[in-house]
Structures are given as C-alpha cells and as structure tokens.
Amino acid sequence: MAGSPRRAAGRRLPLSVLCLLLQGATAILFAVFVRYNDETDAALWHGGNHSSADNEFYFRYPSFQDVHAMVFVGFGFLMAFLQRYGFSSVGFTFLLAAFALQWSTLIQGFLHSFHGNQIHVGVESMINADFCAGTVLISFGAVLGKTGPVQLLLMALLEVALFGINEFVLLSLLGVKDAGGSMTIHTFGAYFGLVLSRVLYRPQLEKSAHRRGSVYHSDLFAMIGTIFLWIFWPSFNSAPTTLGDGQHRTVLNTYYSLTASTLSTFALSSLVGDNGRLDMVHVQNAVLAGGVVVGTSSEMMLTPFGALAAGFLAGTVSTLGYKFFTPILESKFKVQDTCGIHNLHGMPGILGALLGVLVAGLATHEAYGDGLHSVFPLIAEGQRSATSQAVYQLFGLFVTLTFASVGGGLGGLLLKLPCLDAPPDSQCYEDQIYWEGGRTLAHS
Amino acid sequence: MAGSPRRAAGRRLPLSVLCLLLQGATAILFAVFVRYNDETDAALWHGGNHSSADNEFYFRYPSFQDVHAMVFVGFGFLMAFLQRYGFSSVGFTFLLAAFALQWSTLIQGFLHSFHGNQIHVGVESMINADFCAGTVLISFGAVLGKTGPVQLLLMALLEVALFGINEFVLLSLLGVKDAGGSMTIHTFGAYFGLVLSRVLYRPQLEKSAHRRGSVYHSDLFAMIGTIFLWIFWPSFNSAPTTLGDGQHRTVLNTYYSLTASTLSTFALSSLVGDNGRLDMVHVQNAVLAGGVVVGTSSEMMLTPFGALAAGFLAGTVSTLGYKFFTPILESKFKVQDTCGIHNLHGMPGILGALLGVLVAGLATHEAYGDGLHSVFPLIAEGQRSATSQAVYQLFGLFVTLTFASVGGGLGGLLLKLPCLDAPPDSQCYEDQIYWEGGRTLAHS
Amino acid sequence: MAGSPRRAAGRRLPLSVLCLLLQGATAILFAVFVRYNDETDAALWHGGNHSSADNEFYFRYPSFQDVHAMVFVGFGFLMAFLQRYGFSSVGFTFLLAAFALQWSTLIQGFLHSFHGNQIHVGVESMINADFCAGTVLISFGAVLGKTGPVQLLLMALLEVALFGINEFVLLSLLGVKDAGGSMTIHTFGAYFGLVLSRVLYRPQLEKSAHRRGSVYHSDLFAMIGTIFLWIFWPSFNSAPTTLGDGQHRTVLNTYYSLTASTLSTFALSSLVGDNGRLDMVHVQNAVLAGGVVVGTSSEMMLTPFGALAAGFLAGTVSTLGYKFFTPILESKFKVQDTCGIHNLHGMPGILGALLGVLVAGLATHEAYGDGLHSVFPLIAEGQRSATSQAVYQLFGLFVTLTFASVGGGLGGLLLKLPCLDAPPDSQCYEDQIYWEGGRTLAHS
C-alpha cells in the first residue's frame, strides 16, 4: 500500500455519530407514529371480511421486489464502473438507501397516509420508500467520488424531505399523473444532483482524473447494474399504478420502450464512435433511457408504437448527451456529473414529462372507456378536460424543476459546511480514504 | 494500448445504419398492426365484467420476469467467460435480444394472434418474445467471438422468422406439446447455430486460440449467468403452461431435474478430470442440462423420480459431450462451437424431445383425470390416442431439426456476404475491434 | 502455472463415486415414496372443485424464487470473497445445495408430510428444502477453504437429517413458532458448523494465511451475494408464514429490521475502524443480521419500531463480533470460522430466538384479534398462555443448541475419517487442488 493516507481529524462530524443520531431520531419517530395498516395488522385484517387472496400483498409484492433489486443491485453496481471506487459505490448505496427507506417512510407517511396521528404502513409504503431511495441514488450519481458518506447522508436527509413535498404537491394538490416518476423521481433526482454538483464545483478535479475511468472488470460489474435496471424497469413503472389493466399496460409499454432505446443507443453509439466502434458508457446508461421516458405516460394509452417511438428518441438523446453534452456541461456550466445523470435521468425525464403532457392531452372517453376513471379520475368525473389535465402535467414539470434546483442549491451549501468529510481534490474517486484493507486495494 | 486495430472501411454495412433500418421497419409494422389486447387495453378490460385480480398479469408476470432475467443476465453473463470478449458477450446479447423481442412480437403475432388485421399483445406475447430471443442467444453461443454485430443482427432477422414458423407448425398444425421448448427453443437454436457455424468454418482460427479461454474472474462472471439460469429455469418451463396444477407441476419437475443434472455433472466432471479435479466449463454449463431435458415433459405427469432420472442423464451426456465430443465436432465435423451449445442445448434438447415422446405415449385418463384436457386436449377430446400423440411429438422433432438445419445453412450463407463485419481470424474473441476504451481493455 | 499440485491418490473416496452413490440412493427413495400433492397432480387437482387461481402456487412461488436466489446467488457469492477460492465457493455451494434439496425433500417429507407411505410434494416442500440447503451453507461458511467436496457432502448428509429432526421437535412436538428460522436455520446452522470446525481445528493453518484474505474484485463479487441476501430476506422470513396479513407483516418487519442493521453496521464499523474507516467484511455480513434477528418474531406483532430496534441491536452485535470476538474465537476457543458465521448467524440467531420469547410472551387477544389463530394457534385455542408459549420458545432454543452441538461434534468426527479429501494445511483456501484450468488460476 502506498502509505495510508492521513486525514486531518480536526473537528469533523464522524460518520458513526451521524448514523447513530439519524437512526435514533427515526426510531423515536417510528415508535410514536408508525403503525401496521389494515392489511398488515393481525387484528385489523382478521376483523375485516377478507379472503387472504385479497391482501394487497399478492398484487404488489412481486413488483416491489423487482424495484428493491433495482435500487440496491441496479444503482449499486451501475456506479461501480469506477476503477477504484467500487466499495464506495456499492457500500454508500447501501447506507444511503437504508437511511432513505426509513426517513421517507416517515416523510411520505406524514404527507400521504397520516390518519389519527398515525402513519399506516404496508407494501405500498415500501414501494414509495424505495422510489424515494432511488431518487437519492440518482443524485448520488452526479457527485459520485467527490463526496464522503457524512455529506451523502446529509444530502439524503434534505432530499428525501423535498422529494416528499414535491411529490405531494404534484400528486395530491395538482392531480398530476406520474406513476413511474419521470418528474418526481428522474427529473427531480437529476436536477437536484446537478445543481448540488454545481455548487460543489471543483476546479482542480483533474488531480484525480487518472482514477475517473473504468477498468475492464469494473465495466462488467457496472453491466450487472445496467441489466438489472433494464429487466426490472417494467415493474418499476407499474408498481404503484392501478391494479388490473393498469399494471399490465404499464409493463408492456415500458418493455417496448426499453427495446427501442437499446437499438437507438447502439445505432448512435456506433455512429458517433471512432471507426464505428461502440462505447460501454453508452451501453451501460443510455439503453435505460427508454424506461425513464415513459415513466409518466406508460400507464396511459400510449400505444405500443408510441412506446417504441418514445424509447427510440430517449436512447438517441441520451447517447448524444454522453458524447457531446457532458463535456460542455463541465467546461461551460461547471457541472461535474460523474455518472452522466443528466443524460440518463435529466433529459429523458423532461422528455417523459412532456410526453405525459401530450398523451394526457389526447385522452378521450372513447380510448379509455370506463378505464378513464382509473387513469384520469378528474377527467372522468368531469372536473377537468384533457387539455386542462395536460396543462397541469406541464405545470408539474416546472414545479419539479423549481423544487429540484432550489433544493440542490441548498443541499450544495449544506455539503460545503467545513466539518464534513469531503475528499481532497487529489483523492477523489478513491476507496482507500473511506475503507480499510490496504492489501486488497493495493492489488487493484 | 497495443495500437488501435485498423478496420478496412470499404463498403461495409455500418451497424448504425442496420440498427436504424431494423428499428424503423419494426416501428412501422407496430404502428400498423400491434394493439393492446383485452387485458391491457383500458376500454376493453373495463368493458368486460372482470375483477382486477383476474387479469392474466397476476398469473404470468412473475414467471415472465424470471424468464427476462434468464435471457439478459443468464445468457449475457454465461457467455462472458471469454477473457477479452466480455463487453461483446454482454453487449451484443443486449442488442440481439432487444431486436429479437420486437421482431418476434411481430412474427409470432402474425402467426398466433392475428385477429382482424391486428396483433394483440400482453404478457403472453412478452413471454413468447423472450423465448424467441433466448433461442437466438443459444445460436449466438456457437459463433461467439467470430461474428460481428451486423452479422448477428442479420442472423436474428432470419432466425426469429424461422423460429416462429417452426413453432407454428409444431404447436398449431401438429398439435405437439412443448411448453418449455426442448424442441422449439433448445433443439432449434442449437442446430441452427451449429450448422451456421459449420458454414462459417475458419480453418485458421488457431490464430486467436490464445484468447479463446477464460481468466479467473471471467469464469466467476460466467457463474453469475449459470446461477441465474439455474434458479429461474423452473419459471422458464412453466411460464406458458396452463394455470393451476400445470404451472405448479412444471416447476416442481424442473426443480428436481436440475438438482440431478448438477450432481451428475460434478460426478462425471470429477470422473473424467485429471486427478479427480473438476472443470469450470462443465459446472458452468452441464448443470443446466436438467432444465433443457424436461422442457417438453415437465408439464406432463413425469413423476418426481422421472424428473431426477432425466436430469441425471442430461447432466451426464452434457458433461461427456464437453469432454469428448466438442473436440471431435471441430476436428472431424468442422463445427467450431464456442460455448459448446451442442452439449448444453443440442443433445439435451433432443433427449428432451424423446422424453416427451415417451411420456406422451404413456398418458392415460387415469393418471391425468380431468386434467387431461389441459395437458393433452386432443387426447381428451378423443381426436388422438396417446400413441398417436407420441408419434406427432417425434415428428415434431424431425420438423425442428429440418427447419434448424436448412435455416442455419441459409443463415451461414447470408453471414458470408462480403459487406459484413466478420473479424479477421487473428482478431476473434477480441473486444477491442468493436469497443472504444483502449485503456480499460489494455488493463485486462 | 506453479507446478500442478500432486495429490496422494491413496485409498480416497472419490467425489464421483460419492455423488453417484448419493444420487442413486435419493433417486430410489424418490421412486418409492415421492408423489405429487393435491396441488401439483393433474388428476387430484382437477378432481377438486378449485379455481386455478386458488392454487398455492400463486401465493408462494414468488417468495420461493426469492429464497432460491438467496441460496444460490446469495450464499454462493458471499463466500466468493476469498482471493483464490471463488470457484470452490460458488461451485461447492451448487453441489451441496443441489444434494441437500433432494435429501431434505425426503427427510422433511418423512417427518412432515408422510401420508399413506407417500411423501407429497409441492411448492411448500420446495421452500422447506431450500431452507434446509441454506442451513447447510451456513455451516459451510465456518469450514470454507479447509474441507474438500467429499467431506462437505458427508457433512450435508448428516446435517440435513439432524436439521429435519430438530425442526420436527420444535415445530411439531413443542409447538414453537419460528417461520424465518432464527433457531431452526441460523442458530442450528451456525453452531453445527462452529462445533464441527472446532473438531477439525488446524493448529498450522497460518501456512495458508496469505490466501485467507480478499482481493479488490473478489470483495465486489462477495457484495453481489450480500445484496441479493439483503433484498430478498423479507421473502425468506415470510415464505412459510400464513397467507394474507401474516406474509405481509413478516415482510414489512424484516424490511425495517434490515435497514436498521445496515445503519448500525456502518456506525459501528466506522467507530471501531482505523481513522473512522469502514471495513468491507462488516458491510458484507453484518448488514444482514437484521434479517436473522427477526426470523422468529417477524410474523408476530413486533411493531415497526420493534423491528428497527431489533435490527439495530443485531447489526451492532454482529459488527463488534467481527472486530473483537472472531480473533478470540480462534485463539482461545480454537474455532476457525472462515466467514464469521458466529457473528452473522450465531449471535443474531440466539438474539432472534430470545426476541421471539419476548414477543410471544407479550401476545394478547387484543393485539392479534382473530389473527391470533394464525400466529399462535395454541394460545388462541386456549391450550397455552402467552407465558407458556414463551417458555416453549425458550426451550426450543436449548433443544436447537443441543442438536447443533452434538451434531456438529459427530460431523467433525465423520469428516476426520482418513479416506476423505481434506486439503493439507498449506493448501487451504486454494482452488487449484480441486479445479482444472491452471492457466486461469495462475492469472489471478
């Protein structure tokens, strides 16, 4: 080992103290507020007149498990592409997501399912908590390698709260539809992370440039993440939709969209590549843009062709973004986006929101029949026209961008506090400062 | 990097152009023909008198997801055993399968669910499309490392069409049972790939022999593929069977068969190994033969003992095939089979078809009771005797071998077209000619 | 390659012979005893008056698949952390588990579902067999790297039988509740393995010390195992519980417990680490202790706060165990515990049993309502008080510790038989003596 790097102990907030504080706080709040809901409480469930088969569990748990795999396997390994940051990518994903699951159960509970001073939990709150954790991990992608675990936990503390509020404004106040979260998850997570990364801009980051790339096997580990995200994305978009045709249609649309973004990613990657060669960065990321872009509209009557077209467009934009826009983002806009979340979540998220505007605006009683009640209840009840729903959808996008930008700015200021664990410019993208085991790291 | 390899640009068909052409064509066909079916269309589903819980989605989607994981995680990583071909193994798996999913949705739709000039899609069409993609990936295993992505897409274009026709002949015209695809998937995919590889025979392949093996970690990546295929194979065979006891029994039989092929693989590998040592190639592949061999019969009343016996036999044949037959296949028959698909899919597929002949021939009203209608409707309706069903099953095997061989021959001729991207003999099994990122490749 | 290591052929029991003997024996027993149950047999199922949707398959199979992934992906890769023992970790996991699935189907069948001289099998027997296989793999973790496959198969032969008997005594004779197996799986597997490892104590093991650690990428492979165990643990604990609220509540409790053990693992790892740094060994293992500790109580009315508290405690104990107790275990107690199963399964298992005592003792009609029948049938029927159930739970723990210790001792004596394949002290943690492919191993 090339000499154990010294860390100025100073008056830093130690990771252990922060973990214990956060866990203590959420545990107390759980004790006071969190209770089993009607479907998980023994007395309440058996007090009702149900068959076991009616329990929400059987309709949502398989989808939940797929989402859970995406959050931990998918995001964790996708970020393990860095040659010397695999422990941190996978490990901090664990830490951040575990905390976010607890914290968002509380925040979302207060906002969405607070009855008689109690938060009622079940499989739907698990799905929503995982969605929020995924959002935090999207933002993590922008600052990957340049932030310590204490900083990241503070980021999660803030972001989970803002995520909950933004989602509440969109879904509950504005009546916006966004099942798969093109706005609430992808757009929010991306621009929160990008603005935060802007505030934390490091002009001397080239000191760590030699560690910024991948090695052969780290690229293969990253592909584990990509593939798990890709195969389970249909479950992600459909996990919270209405049961029956709603989940079924959402799955189908997402599936088609992903095949198209895969084909367009290969087409564009080869087109812009040296001698027609492909780039693993594109394949690891842009193939997934098809899942992001139909996040809002996949529960709607998008049509299979619409799903293909949307996926194709998203894969194209995303691949071109990696090739041409990421360098500009750093050089002109001083946003250092380690994983390129602007290309995978940012632009496809906005496209997805706009697609939602379009498809909502085209909704007719004829196309949805009695299903209009499930997809657009406000239109079915005559409270809104389709056009008006479309306007609300568009307004939801602006609200999201505003919350994300302001939140990311605040987050950046918070993470600049001097008592935190930001790595020096010369030690970015480096596991060794956070992880023991010099021998194994020296082998890499 | 050891000098970026030059590729004669010539008048090659670029990958980007082919991807765009294929995507454009399938998108137009989707726009014209593909529509949501009764279970995914909002108006049609809500027009019916259904409970959400009746939606086919809840009975098939968990199995679909397992199959989906097998296709992308399983096949992708199983082929990543090559030391310098991991990007291509995983990446081209993505590309091929994504295209095959779209294209086979169309082909199978025209043949199986074409009503009023429309193809109706839902979770069953997703399962069938994934099955077809898996078949293409089996054939890919034979030519792995010796074909470029343009060649592979053309192979998929042809193979998906022939797969659909062969399946239509077997299932719809001949009334053959083959839920898990011992014939339609494994036998077809294997012999299509082997004949194609024969046509593409490279006498000078020893120029790339040094890249043909694995390294320590590439073998572990391959084991990721093996394990995901192994654990989810029960879902593969049961995904399209009749609901209720049919899916349940298929899962159970496949599960037992796989345990037996695992034990026989270890027994035989150790028996033929130097000093009793085991071979990772056997463990990566032959343990899976138990899934292939019950592809036809696992929905039948095979009995748990029958499943064990079949799996044991398949593991044995497959391991011995890797040890003794693969070298002969290359030296005598000039078939270069990179992954040994003849041992994993070819011989076990034929055995599975024959086992189906046997078990179908033994079907009685006593053993199946009223369940005979689900498994052998033509016998239950008195249109066929069990013996006659067995003869049809056997005929189905010959039809499959014929379609596969002729198709593989045609495919080989197609892939020999001079404007394609076949690598030179000295550059086989090498990522560097298709992928950017010299630095990461040079590290390997 | 550094010279193929010679193995004294002697009068060793070859692996191939043992595999064939074991497979032959279980196949005969399957032929004589094992039959499809009412839900998998075509005639029996269709003879009943069922809807397909009522088949147990749809309520248990998704959970089974998650458990199956944990056994093969989870345990297999978790043990692949050793730098030169990845083939054996993943390969022997396959071999051991495949045999254990067959053998425990028989043992558990004789004890739990033997009707009219027949063992009836279906998805529940698959779940139970996988649980037993998981138990064997826990014990494998203690002796990892120091035992050959012949030894391991003999260990499984004994352990599966004792597991079945212990489980029968607890669940059927004593009426103990232990759905997720804090006692029957984790405590039993851990102490069986630890006592066995004590009997096989190697005073000269430092000869292989240089191979005992990990390398960078082997740690990432191990994280694949960790993550799959972590995400699917809710399915593990809930797979065999009563349907409806029972499965739902179990999942929710396990999910919360795991988030808390993750936070406490990071807190404690950083607290005891050099300069606040984290240790991958802790993150790979102790984060999972939250799943173990609620194995008994997660189906009970533990409350979400109770789940957090339990998980937090388990993660703390487990991390401290890795740091401080494992070295003592080896130096003072002469127990060489390769994977630290005492910290992951032993102590958290006992804690989980004690938590079960507590929560059972607090059970009231008020808290469970009519659901008391599902969770504590003997209390609901008035045969026992809650306190008496608590005493039985405690007694179950002592029974388990007794069976495990005596069994582990016997196992150790069995594995010391001279005709077996124990590696020499200087060749422990080394794939090369069991696996062909010197080239790939030399590269490592």
Write the pLDDT tens digit of every residue in B13-43: 899 999 999 999 999 999 999 999 999 999 9
pLDDT at C2: 36
Taking the CA of residue B18 and the nearest CA in chain A, the distance in Å comes to: 8
pLDDT band at A440, cuts 50/70/90? low
CATH number given to B15-40+63-428: 1.10.3430.10
C30/B308 Cβ within 8 A: yes
Average pLDDT over residues A381-402: 97
Least trusted range by pLDDT, from A400-404, A434-438, B367-371, C24-28: A434-438
Residues 219-238 of B with CB under 8 A from A: 221, 224
pLDDT at A7: 46
H or E element in which residue C118 lies: strand C118-121
**How far apart, in whole angstroms, are the C-alpha atoms of residue A115 and residue A113?**
6
Taking the CA of residue A229 and the nearest CA in chain B, the distance in Å comes to: 11
pLDDT at A13: 85
A301/B42 Cβ within 8 A: yes
Chain A CB within 8 Å of residue B14 CB: yes
pLDDT band at A50, cuts 50/70/90? confident
Least trusted range by pLDDT, from A366-375, B41-50, B371-380, C312-321: B41-50
- Residue A203: count of CB within 10 angstroms of its CB: 8
B contacts of A235 (beta carbons < 8 Å): 65
Provide the residue ranges of all domains of chain A, joining segments of one domain with +: 15-43+56-431
Which residues are bridge partners to C115 per DSSP? C118
B contacts of C217 (beta carbons < 8 Å): 217
A contacts of C267 (beta carbons < 8 Å): 15-16, 19-20, 23
Say whether pLDDT at B10 is over 70. no
Decide: C361 and C386 in contact? Cβ < 8 Å. yes
Is residue C311 classed exposed, middle or buried when 0-12, 13-18 and 19+ CB atoms within 10 A define those classes?
buried
Taking the CA of residue A158 and the nearest CA in chain C, the distance in Å comes to: 18
Instruction: Give, in degrees to the nearest 5, the angle at Cα A275 between A270 and A279.
Output: 40
Which residues are bridge partners to B34 per DSSP? B119
Say whether pLDDT at B401 is over 60. yes
Residues of chain C with pLDDT under 70: 1-11, 438-444
> What does the block give as tokens for C279?
């240790």
pLDDT at C303: 97
pLDDT at A113: 83
Mapped onto helix, strand or coil, the DSSP state of residue A68 is helix
> What does the block give as tokens for A26?
């959420």
**How far apart, in whole angstroms, are the C-alpha atoms of residue C193 and residue C405?**
9
C contacts of A41 (beta carbons < 8 Å): 245, 249, 301, 371
A19/C216 Cβ within 8 A: no
Chain B CB within 8 Å of residue C358 CB: no
A230/B440 Cβ within 8 A: no
B contacts of A231 (beta carbons < 8 Å): 65, 68-69, 72-73
Residues 271-290 of A with CB under 8 A from C: none
Say whether pLDDT at A304 is over 60. yes
* Tokens 């030179």 belong to residue: B424
**How far apart, in whole angstroms, are the C-alpha atoms of residue A250 and residue A241?**
8
Angle at which helix A123-143 crosses helix A86-112, to 10 degrees, equals 140
Taking the CA of residue A350 and the nearest CA in chain B, the distance in Å comes to: 23
A contacts of B30 (beta carbons < 8 Å): 256, 304-305, 308
- Residue B8: count of CB within 10 angstroms of its CB: 7
DSSP output for C285-331: HGGGHHHHHTTTTTTS---HHHHHHHHHHHHHHHHHIIIIIHHHHHH
ipTM, 2 dp: 0.95
Contacts 24+ apart (CB under 8 A), B43-48: B43/A366, B43/A367, B43/A368, B43/A369, B43/A370, B43/A371, B44/A245, B44/A369, B45/A244, B45/A245, B45/A371, B46/A245, B46/A368, B46/A369, B46/A370, B46/A371, B46/A373, B46/A374, B47/A369, B47/A370
Taking the CA of residue B234 and the nearest CA in chain A, the distance in Å comes to: 17
Say whether pLDDT at B11 is over 70. no
- Residue B210: count of CB within 10 angstroms of its CB: 11
Angle at which helix A304-320 crosses helix A245-272, to 10 degrees, equals 40
Cα–Cα distances in Å, from B26 out to B20, B157, C297?
10, 11, 53
Name which of B162, B172, B177, B146 is nearest B337 in CA terms: B146
B contacts of C91 (beta carbons < 8 Å): 223, 278, 280, 283
pLDDT digits (tens, 9 = 90+) for A144-168: 999 999 999 999 999 999 999 999 9
> φ, ψ for residue A170 (rounded to 5)?
-65, -55
Residues 57-86 of B with CB under 8 A from A: 57-58, 61-62, 65, 68-69, 72-73, 76-77, 80, 86
Mutate to test the interface with B, among A221, A248, A376 (most CBs of B within 10 A): A248
> φ, ψ for residue A140 (rounded to 5)?
-55, -40
B248/C55 Cβ within 8 A: yes
pLDDT at B444: 43
Q: Where are the alpha helices (DSSP H) in A321-346?
A: 326-331, 341
**How far apart, in whole angstroms, are the C-alpha atoms of residue C416 and residue C50?**
53
Average pLDDT over residues A249-266: 98
B contacts of A218 (beta carbons < 8 Å): 440
Decide: A156 and A100 in contact? Cβ < 8 Å. yes
Chain A CB within 8 Å of residue B217 CB: yes
β-strand pairing of A114-115 with C114-115: unpaired
Name which of B56, B38, B123, B60 is nearest A371 in CA terms: B38
Decide: C271 and C210 in contact? Cβ < 8 Å. no
The type of residue at C87 is F
**How far apart, in whole angstroms, are the C-alpha atoms of residue B271 and residue C436?**
12
pLDDT at A378: 96
The gap from C-alpha A195 to its chain's centroid, in whole angstroms, comes to 16
pLDDT at C5: 42
Chain A CB within 8 Å of residue C443 CB: no
pLDDT at C131: 98
Mutate to test the interface with B, among C68, C151, C221 (most CBs of B within 10 A): C68
Name which of B34, B19, B216 is nearest B99 in CA terms: B19
Say whether pLDDT at A114 is over 90. no
H or E element in which residue A34 lies: strand A34-36
- Taken as a whole, chain C contains a residue count of 444
Average pLDDT over residues A130-144: 98
> What does the block give as tokens for C82?
């050793």
Mutate to test the interface with C, among A41, A66, A92 (most CBs of C within 10 A): A41
Return the percentage of chain A with pLDDT > 70, whole number. 96
pLDDT digits (tens, 9 = 90+) for A77-92: 999 999 999 999 999 9
C contacts of A62 (beta carbons < 8 Å): 62
Residues 88-117 of C with CB under 8 A from B: 90-91, 94-95, 98-99, 101-102
A53/C305 Cβ within 8 A: no
Name the CATH superfamily for C15-42+56-417. Answer: Ammonium transporter AmtB like domains (1.10.3430.10)
CATH class of A15-43+56-431: mainly alpha
B contacts of A69 (beta carbons < 8 Å): none
